[in-house]
Amino acid sequence: MYKTILFDFDGTVFDTGEGIMKSVQYAAEAFGYHEPDWQALREFVGPPLTDTFAKRYNVDEETAKAMTAKYRERYRVNGLDECSVYPGVPELVQKLKAHGANVAVATGKPTAFTVDILERHGLGGLFDAVLGSEFDGRRGQKWEVISELLDQFGHDGAVMIGDRDNDVRGAKRCDIPCIGVAWGYAEPGELEREGAIVVARDTSELEKLLIG
């Protein structure tokens, strides 16, 4: 069994897509980019926002940062409530902890937003640690978050659980395996292409992979 299990948050622990995509729509339209269908913005769920703004709208870094700030203007007011926990995930985390594993959140989302969402849903004490990016730009890449948590809990027997390609790449950079989950926001074949060791279809399958 794995000793340290790191969970991505957006698309893995919580379905936060509605709040993220509607807030992206809000920011994009404030900068003159018409996005009538917020569902078309799925690519923003998971990867660093600044990078994705720059890629989608072909803007420079400063503009992408300004769009991210505009995004947060809506997200902190409305987006924090536009989400729901994936069924079975809290129960799985509790089982993993009962088996002696360290279980933490490793997310690209700002730490404060992540903690706020967990607390709003009565899950504030579920994880042993919650770490993400910071509003000042620190830990802006997934590997930086993973690395800091591994420094805390140890590299031996560690694994990353996530739903997007940046989770796999971050894990690989930190020399740990990544198990993908099929219930998130990856495009077909995305996780396998990046090198996830396996993709779990549901929490029951993930439990078997983690506990046996």
Written as six digits, the tokens of 86 are 């994936």
Bridge pairing between strands 102-110 and 178-181: unpaired
Contact 49, 55 (CB under 8 A): no
Tally of CB atoms within 10 A around 175? 11
Q: Kind and range of the H or E element at 203? A: helix 203-211
Tally of CB atoms within 10 A around 94? 12
Q: Kind and range of the H or E element at 173? A: helix 165-173
- Look up 151 and say whether it is catalytic: no
Q: Which of 8, 128, 163, 167 is catalytic?
A: 8
Positions marked active-site: 8
